[in-house]
C-alpha cells in the first residue's frame, strides 16, 4: 500500500505543479478540494431548493420539462445543479486521492477517512435518486439498473423490476420516496460533515473567496452557455439505444448491465470494503516520525497556548496531579489518539516542554548548537529552513545559491528560539520556506509560524532578534521562480543590510511596531 501511496503522489505533485503555475498557490484548486466539495454541497442545496418548488411527483418529467423550457432561471439553475453535483464528485475524489497520496489516511485521521468514504457513497446514492426523479431515459435506465441489482438480494420475493415492466404506470409514491431521499441524504451528508471534521480545530469549510467565486462563476457560465439538455421522457415499452449518461454518477451502469448482478455487488462491496480498510492498510507504527507529542510537565507553565494552536484538538489542559512550588495548577496533556505528530505544539511552547520526541523546542535548540559547534571562524551562510515535504529539486537550487538548507517535519514545528540561536551562532539570516498554507500537512503550520515570528504570538520571536534577518516564503510545487526569487531577494537584502551596518549593532526594535499581515499584498 505504501508503494501505491508513492505511485499516487507522483501524478499528484505533477498536477499540483501545473495548477500552481496556472493559478498560483493561493488559488490552486487542488489544494482546496475538501473545502470546494463543501462549498459545492452548499450550492447544490441552494439550487436544489429552487428546483424543489417546481417538482411534481405526479408528473415528474413534465415538471422538469417546464423548468427546462424557462430560459431565464429554470434551465440554467437545473444545469447548474447538475454540473455542480458532477464537480462535487470530482472534488471529493481528488480530495481522497490527495489525502491517500500524502499518507494522511490513517491513525488519528482514520475517522475522517472512513466517514469521508461513507459520505461519498451517500453522494452517489443521492445522485441516483436525483436522476431517477427526472424520469427521462437516463433516469429510467438508472432505476432499472438499480432494481436489477436490488433484485439479486434476497430481500423481497417480488422483483422490484416489475414496477418498471410497463403494464402499469409508475406509482407517485416511487417518486415521492426518491424526492424524500434526495432531500434527506444531502442534509444527512451535511450533518455527516460534522463527524468528518470532528477531529479538526478550526476546519476550513470554504475556499478563499476569489477561488470560490471563480468556481461558482465558471459553473454558472457553463450552465448558461451550454445548459444540460433534457432527455426524452422514459417509456418502459421502448428500448432506448443511446442514452445520455452522467458518467460521474453512473460510471457503474455499463458494468452492472454487463456483469451478473452478484458479481456487480461483489465488485461494489469489495471496493467499499477496500476503501474503508485504507486506514488500516496504510497505518504506521507510532515511532520515529510518527511518535505522538508528549508533555514535559516539569516545563509546562499552564499557559494554555498549545491547546489553542493544536490544529487537531489533541491537546487539552487538565488539573496537575501534584503541583510543586510555583508550578501551575493546570498542565497540558496530549491525547495520542488524536495527535498526528505534526509538531505544531512544539513551536507554540515558550518553555519548550511539549512536542513529538526528537522535535521539541529543546531538541531543535540542541540540533542548532550541534550544527554550529564546529563552525569556528569560517563565514556562515544564510539558512533556508524548509518543510521536508517541499520539492527536493528546489532544495538543490537553493543550495546552488549558497543557502545552508535545513529540513524540518513542518514549518509550524519550528521554535523561535531555534531561529534566534541560529542568528546568534553567526548565520547572517534565516528564511523559512513553508508549504502553501492550504496544503500544510500540519494544517496551520505556516499561519502559526508567521504569527510567532512577526505578530508576537506565543512563543514569539524575541524582540531582540532583528526582523530584517528573518523571513518566510512559500515553497509550492510548480512555483520554482517564486521560490528562487524570494531567496535571491532575501540574500540580497542581507548583503545590503550587512554592508550598511558594518561594524554596528543590529537595530531590532523597528520591525515590531506594526503587525505584519499573514499574506503579502497582491
Which residues lie near another protein (CB under 8 A)? 20-24, 82-83, 86-87, 90, 141, 151, 157-159, 161-162, 165-167, 218-219, 221-222, 226, 228-229, 235-248, 250, 253-254, 257, 479, 481-482, 522
Q: Shortest distance, CB of residue 234 to another protein, whole angstroms?
A: 12
Q: Shortest distance, CB of residue 435 to another protein, whole angstroms?
A: 16
What is the rounded distance in angstroms from the CA atom of residue 277 to the CA atom of residue 273?
6
Nearer of residues 57 and 236 to another protein, judged by Cβ: 236
Compute the CA torsion angle 492, 497, 503, 504 (nearest 10 deg).
-160
Nearer of residues 42 and 244 to another protein, judged by Cβ: 244
What is the rounded distance in angstroms from the CA atom of residue 398 to the CA atom of residue 53?
59
Inter-residue contact 450 to 412 (CB < 8 Å) = no
Nearer of residues 219 and 408 to another protein, judged by Cβ: 219
Q: Shortest distance, CB of residue 248 to another protein, whole angstroms?
A: 6
Of 382, 445, 447, 456, nearest in space to 414 by CA = 445
Q: Shortest distance, CB of residue 45 to another protein, whole angstroms?
A: 19
What is the rounded distance in angstroms from the CA atom of residue 522 to the CA atom of residue 507?
29
- H helices present in 425-479, as ranges: 445-454
Nearer of residues 151 and 296 to another protein, judged by Cβ: 151
Q: Shortest distance, CB of residue 139 to another protein, whole angstroms?
A: 13
Q: Shortest distance, CB of residue 86 to another protein, whole angstroms?
A: 5
Nearer of residues 29 and 409 to another protein, judged by Cβ: 29
Nearer of residues 86 and 458 to another protein, judged by Cβ: 86
Compute φ and ψ for 354, nearest 5 degrees: -145, 155
- Whether omega for the bond prior to residue 459 falls within 30 degrees of 0, making it cis, is yes
Q: Shortest distance, CB of residue 299 to another protein, whole angstroms?
A: 42
Burial class (CB in 10 A: 0-12, 13-18, 19+), 467: middle
Phi/psi-derived region of residue 378, left when phi > 0, alpha when psi is between -120 and 50, beta in every other case: beta
Q: Shortest distance, CB of residue 367 to another protein, whole angstroms?
A: 33
Q: Shortest distance, CB of residue 136 to another protein, whole angstroms?
A: 12
Nearer of residues 62 and 235 to another protein, judged by Cβ: 235
Counting Cα atoms < 13 Å in the Cβ hemisphere of 117 gives 19
Nearer of residues 253 and 475 to another protein, judged by Cβ: 253
Nearer of residues 119 and 256 to another protein, judged by Cβ: 256
Taking the chain, what is the end-to-end CA distance rounded to the nearest angstrom?
41
Q: Which residues contact 280 (CB under 8 A, 6 or more apart)?
A: 106, 110
Nearer of residues 180 and 262 to another protein, judged by Cβ: 262
Angle value at C-alpha 261, between 257 and 266, nearest 5 degrees: 115
Q: Which residues contact 22 (CB under 8 A, 6 or more apart)?
A: none
Of 183, 140, 172, nearest in space to 47 by CA = 183
- Element housing 79 (H / E): helix 74-101
Q: Shortest distance, CB of residue 368 to another protein, whole angstroms?
A: 32
Amino acid at each position: 500500500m505504501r508503494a501505491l501511496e508513492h505511485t499516487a503522489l507522483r501524478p499528484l505533485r505533477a498536477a499540483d505543479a501545473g495548477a500552481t503555475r496556472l493559478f498560483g498557490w493561493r488559488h490552486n484548486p487542488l489544494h482546496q478540494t475538501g473545502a470546494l466539495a463543501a462549498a459545492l454541497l452548499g450550492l447544490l442545496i441552494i439550487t436544489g431548493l429552487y428546483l424543489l418548488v417546481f417538482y411534481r411527483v405526479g408528473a415528474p418529467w413534465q415538471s422538469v420539462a417546464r423548468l427546462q423550457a424557462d430560459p431565464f432561471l429554470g434551465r440554467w439553475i437545473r444545469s447548474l445543479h447538475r454540473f455542480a453535483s458532477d464537480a462535487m464528485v470530482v472534488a471529493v475524489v481528488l480530495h481522497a486521492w490527495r489525502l491517500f497520496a500524502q499518507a494522511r489516511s490513517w491513525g488519528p485521521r482514520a475517522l475522517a477517512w472512513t466517514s469521508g468514504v461513507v459520505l461519498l457513497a451517500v453522494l452517489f446514492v443521492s445522485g441516483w435518486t436525483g436522476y431517477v426523479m427526472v424520469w427521462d431515459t437516463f433516469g429510467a435506465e438508472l432505476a432499472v439498473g438499480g432494481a436489477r441489482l436490488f433484485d439479486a438480494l434476497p430481500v423481497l420475493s417480488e422483483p422490484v423490476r416489475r414496477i418498471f415492466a410497463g403494464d402499469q404506470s409508475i406509482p407517485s409514491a416511487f417518486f415521492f420516496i426518491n424526492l424524500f431521499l434526495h432531500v434527506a441524504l444531502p442534509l444527512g451528508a451535511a450533518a455527516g460533515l460534522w463527524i468528518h471534521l470532528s477531529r479538526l480545530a478550526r476546519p476550513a469549510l470554504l475556499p478563499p473567496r476569489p477561488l470560490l467565486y471563480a468556481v461558482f462563476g465558471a459553473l454558472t457560465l457553463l450552465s448558461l452557455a451550454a445548459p444540460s439538455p433534457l432527455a426524452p421522457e422514459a417509456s418502459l415499452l421502448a428500448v432506448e439505444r443511446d442514452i445520455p449518461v452522467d458518467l460521474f454518477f453512473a460510471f457503474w451502469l455499463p458494468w452492472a448491465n454487463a456483469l451478473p448482478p452478484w458479481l456487480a455487488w461483489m465488485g461494489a462491496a469489495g471496493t467499499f470494503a477496500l476503501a474503508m480498510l485504507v486506514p488500516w492498510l496504510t497505518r504506521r507504527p507510532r515511532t520515529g516520525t510518527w511518535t505522538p507529542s508528549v508533555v514535559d510537565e516539569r516545563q509546562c507553565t499552564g499557559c494554555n497556548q498549545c491547546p489553542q494552536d493544536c490544529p487537531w484538538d489533541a491537546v487539552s489542559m487538565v488539573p496537575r496531579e501534584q503541583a510543586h512550588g510555583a508550578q501551575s495548577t493546570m498542565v497540558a496533556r496530549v491525547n495520542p489518539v488524536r495527535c498526528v505528530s505534526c509538531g505544531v505544539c512544539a513551536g507554540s511552547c515558550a518553555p519548550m516542554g511539549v512536542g513529538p520526541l526528537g522535535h521539541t523546542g529543546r531538541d531543535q535548540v540542541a540540533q542548532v548548537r550541534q550544527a554550529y559547534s564546529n563552525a569556528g571562524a569560517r563565514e556562515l551562510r544564510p539558512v533556508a529552513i524548509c518543510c521536508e515535504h517541499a520539492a527536493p529539486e528546489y532544495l538543490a537550487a537553493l543550495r546552488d545559491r549558497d543557502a545552508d538548507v535545513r529540513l524540518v517535519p513542518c514549518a509550524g514545528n519550528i521554535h523561535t528560539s531555534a531561529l534566534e540561536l541560529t542568528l546568534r551562532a553567526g548565520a547572517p539570516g534565516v528564511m523559512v520556506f513553508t508549504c502553501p498554507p492550504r496544503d500544510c500537512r500540519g494544517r496551520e503550520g505556516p499561519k502559526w509560524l508567521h504569527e510567532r515570528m512577526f505578530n508576537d504570538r506565543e512563543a514569539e520571536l524575541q524582540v531582540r532578534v532583528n526582523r530584517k534577518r528573518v523571513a518566510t516564503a512559500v515553497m509550492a510545487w510548480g512555483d520554482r521562480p517564486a521560490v528562487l526569487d524570494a531567496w535571491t531577494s532575501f540574500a540580497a537584502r542581507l548583503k545590503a543590510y550587512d554592508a550598511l551596518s558594518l561594524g554596528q549593532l543590529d537595530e531590532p526594535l523597528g520591525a515590531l511596531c506594526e503587525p505584519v499581515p499573514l499574506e503579502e499584498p497582491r
